[in-house]
Amino acid sequence: MLVGEKVASGSLLYSEVWDEIAPLSALVYSLIDYFFGRSQIVYQLLAYFTICFQVFIFNRFLLSSRAYAENTYVPGLIYALLASICYDMHTLTPFLMGMTFILLSLNNIFSHIEVRAKRDEDILNIGLYIGIATIIYLPYCLFALCTLVIFTFFTGTVPRRYALMTFGFLLPIVVSGGYFYLTDRLDDFVFSFLAPFTQIDKIWYVSFKDTMFLFVAPIAYFLLAFFRILQGARLTNYQSRLTQTMLVWLLFGILFTLIADSNSPNVYVVLVAPIAFYIAHYYLAKKRGLFTELSFLLFFILIVTTSVLSH
């Protein structure tokens, strides 16, 4: 909010406003300050609509990619619950804004994994979305490497498409650097935005113990789902590749939380999609019955209770 206020008043980012914030995040916050001033409710409302849009994206691409044996809105419901596990997630942070573009890239990755849907524009968009997320919050660049790993092990991507994805990824970063170069602030851009990524200096707003308390229920249900799949859930070869893809995505998400410059509940929004994906598998693979309904009700109660207690 303070950075947005200073930039909106005419101060130059990185040269007059010394902060490690990404350029696109600073632009968004300056626009919010310009139109609404210091209004915390605006940040929360925008975060709420952002989460709703993410739920829509997540459930939509799982439906279109036929990730499950049936068409269902259960994954979207679980995503919405997990994204509401703490009030801290309901404000417009760079983590939340960048996650929207990460989900859009994941949508195109799922399309690319499907043999019949290999299109150059999807590959370009994957890189472009991750590049945009990177200029919202720099550590999101990890998912460019994550995508390369997925392409290598789960697709038959030709070298030309690796180059296309790399071009799409670098384009937003180069455009941002070009803007600061033209305004004679390239050194400030590199020093304030890019250089801190090489320094591991985490601010602990929430302790590791409190973090585990928040996420003990999602972790427990994720482990149940993961072992259920290992025990032989009935998945097609294509669906198996999607579950493997989401496991790689989860591992890079954990790495993202480790190198993030702070530890707070909103950092963990990056883990919501893969955990929701696996928990949905757990329920959709089970036979419908009283036990399944009670299990989901317990999951709902645990998440809501955690959210209330976190206040």
Percent of the chain with pLDDT over 70: 95
| CA neighbor of 118 nearest in space, from 144, 142, 151 | 151
Q: Is 134 in a helix, a strand, or coil?
A: helix
Give residue-wise pLDDT tens across range 249-289: 999 999 999 988 888 889 999 999 999 999 998 888 766 66
Weakly modelled stretches of the chain, pLDDT under 70: 115-118, 196-200, 232-233, 286-289, 311
Check residue 72 and give its pLDDT: 87
- The encoded tokens of residue 55 equal 């739920």
Helices and strands in the chain, H and E counts: 13, 2
- The encoded tokens of residue 244 equal 């493997």
- Residue 67 CA to residue 107 CA, distance in Å, equals 11
- The encoded tokens of residue 176 equal 């941002």
Give residue-wise pLDDT tens across range 45-64: 999 999 999 999 999 999 98
**What radius of gyration, in Å, describes the C-alpha atoms of the chain?**
20
Residue 302: what residue type?
Answer: L
Under 8 Å between Cβ of 206 and 36: no
Provide φ and ψ at 224, rounded to 5°. -60, -45
Check residue 222 and give its pLDDT: 93
Check residue 145 and give its pLDDT: 96
